[in-house]
Amino acid sequence: MSAPAGTETTHRARTGRAVRMTGSGEPEQHIETHATDRPTAGRGKVVVEVEAAGVSYAEVQMLQHLHPFPPRFPFVPGYDLVGRIVEVGAGVTGFANGDRVAAMPRYGGWQTHAEIPAACLAHLPEDLDAAEAVALVTNGVTAWQMLHRLTDAAPGDTVLVHGASGGVGSVLTRIAVHHGLRVIGTASPAKHDAVRDMGAEPLDYRTPDLPAAVRQFAPDGVSAVFDHIGGKGLDDSWKILAPGGTLVSFDSSVAGYRPGQWFRPHLPALRRSLTRALARLLGRTGGRRMRMYYVKPGKNFAADLATMYDLLGQGVLRPEIAGRLPLDDAARALRELLDGRAVGKYVLIP
């Protein structure tokens, strides 16, 4: 039910805690926790008491000033969160005090109370575990939309998921297997057992001739490749596609860029995407196409997240939780991601 504008506010200041990213560099130097007052809800916004907030590679990129949309330092990181609305600002419809919600504000999640634009919210069923629910907000919607909104991969087809042990990759692998797809999942060798447990066939992403290795599994190529590597890696991903297949480029995170080159990593993907769109128009790609993806809030976000929550509630989907940590351990979680030790999603519990 909608809250009448401004009628459900409770202006009770409360001391909370927030994590702050203070600059570009190492997590141990630039991540700190501090006390805050509870915010009040501005127009079109709500205040959420945070139950769980996700740690994602986006925060690693923000720390290295490699994110395409970097906020100014210092700021409170936290791409996504789940929690309960404790205050509703004027002009908000569709959400009321006490509602349990999921949100993707892109930053601001790593604190006890967050002021969130209502446009970033979706409803969250009461019975779901907060950590599992937050692991599906950005990662789940990203995985779902890339697979089901950008490709035509049908049951029985084979797809290649890069980074299958990661936050996005592990959810993508599970929903692809659930969809009846055969999944080849790249990961470092130490994580191959984890990838196998998800129902995929593991492959080391450092294999020298990756297209040849993939063709041993799928001689005719694969129906879709999900690529967060970027750079020249996109050419290998393109070579692996079967006629009519789709290459989804969803980041350029592993191509060896230096901290501070925030937009540069994305240029090779943009260039290739334009060139291939033109070649496709001219009928020169055998029906193959390349699509770039960036998750955003809105109607499809809320609808697709609801689908993910149905699957979670039915027990079809179990996101991998790398660890549940207090806010004070945010730097440790980032370090685990930076050093490639995480399997699945680290979650902060304020």
Ligand X SMILES: NC(=O)c1ccc[n+]([C@@H]2O[C@H](COP(=O)([O-])OP(=O)(O)OC[C@H]3O[C@@H](n4cnc5c(N)ncnc54)[C@H](OP(=O)(O)O)[C@@H]3O)[C@@H](O)[C@H]2O)c1
Run of H or E including 200? none
**DSSP summary character for residue 75:** B
293 binds ligand X (CB under 6 A): yes
Query: Integer distance in angstroms from the first to the last C-alpha of the chain?
Result: 27
Residue 26 CB, nearest approach to ligand X (Å): 17
Choices 25-33, 91-99, 292-300, 306-314 (CB under 6 A): range interacting with ligand X: 292-300
Residue 185 interacting with ligand X (CB under 6 A): no
- Tokens 């006390």 -> residue: 35
Record the tokens describing residue 132, joined without a space: 């599992």
- Exactly one of 188, 201, 311, 324 binds ligand X (CB under 6 A); that residue is 188
Q: Please, which of residues 100-159 interact with ligand X by CB under 6 A?
A: 138, 142
Strand partners, 187: 204
Q: How far is the CB of 119 from ligand X (least distance, A)?
A: 17
Q: Quote the radius of gyration of the chain (alpha carbons, Å).
A: 20
- The Cα 317–Cα 172 span in angstroms is 10
**C-beta of 19 vs 150, nearer to ligand X:** 150
Q: How far is the CB of 283 from ligand X (least distance, A)?
A: 29
Pick the binder of ligand X from 253, 257, 289, 304 (CB under 6 A): 253
User: Does 338 help bind ligand X (rule: CB under 6 A)?
Assistant: no
Residue 162 interacts with ligand X (CB under 6 A): yes or no: yes
Q: Token digits for 286?
A: 């055998």
6-65: contacts with ligand X (CB under 6 A): 56-58, 61
What minimum distance in Å lies between the beta carbon of 305 and ligand X?
13
Give the binding range for ligand X (CB under 6 A) out of 26-34, 82-90, 165-173, 273-281.
165-173
Closer residue to ligand X (CB): 118 or 150: 150
Residues 207-246 that bind ligand X (CB under 6 A): 228-229
Among the listed ranges 99-107, 271-279, 311-319, 337-345, the one in contact with ligand X (CB under 6 A) is: 337-345
Contact stretch for ligand X (CB under 6 A) within 180-188, 234-242, 303-311, 327-335: 180-188
SS3 breakdown of the chain: % helix, strand, coil, rounded to 5?
35, 25, 40
Residue of the chain from 47, 88, 187, 240 that contacts ligand X (CB under 6 A) = 187
CB of 203 closer than 8 Å to CB of 220:
no
Would you count residue 294 as binding ligand X (CB under 6 A)? Answer: yes
Please count the other Cβ atoms lying within 10 Å of the Cβ belonging to residue 148.
15
Q: Does 336 bind ligand X (CB under 6 A)?
A: no
Look at residues 290, 2, 277, 284 and name the one whose alpha carbon lies nearest to residue 118.
2
Structure tokens at 17: 């805690």
Q: How many CB atoms lie within 10 A of CB 123?
A: 14
Read off φ and ψ for residue 145, nearest 5 degrees: -70, -40
Distances (CA, A) of 213 to 197, 217, 271: 21, 7, 26
Binding segment for ligand X among 6-14, 120-128, 167-175, 305-313 (CB under 6 A)? 167-175
Residue 280: CB atoms within 10 A of its CB come to 15
Residue closest to ligand X when measured from CB atoms? 166
Other residues' Cβ atoms within 10 Å of the Cβ of residue 28: 10
Which residues contact ligand X (rule: CB under 6 A)? Answer: 56-58, 61, 138, 142, 162-163, 165-169, 186-188, 191, 205, 228-229, 250-251, 253-254, 293-295, 337, 340, 342
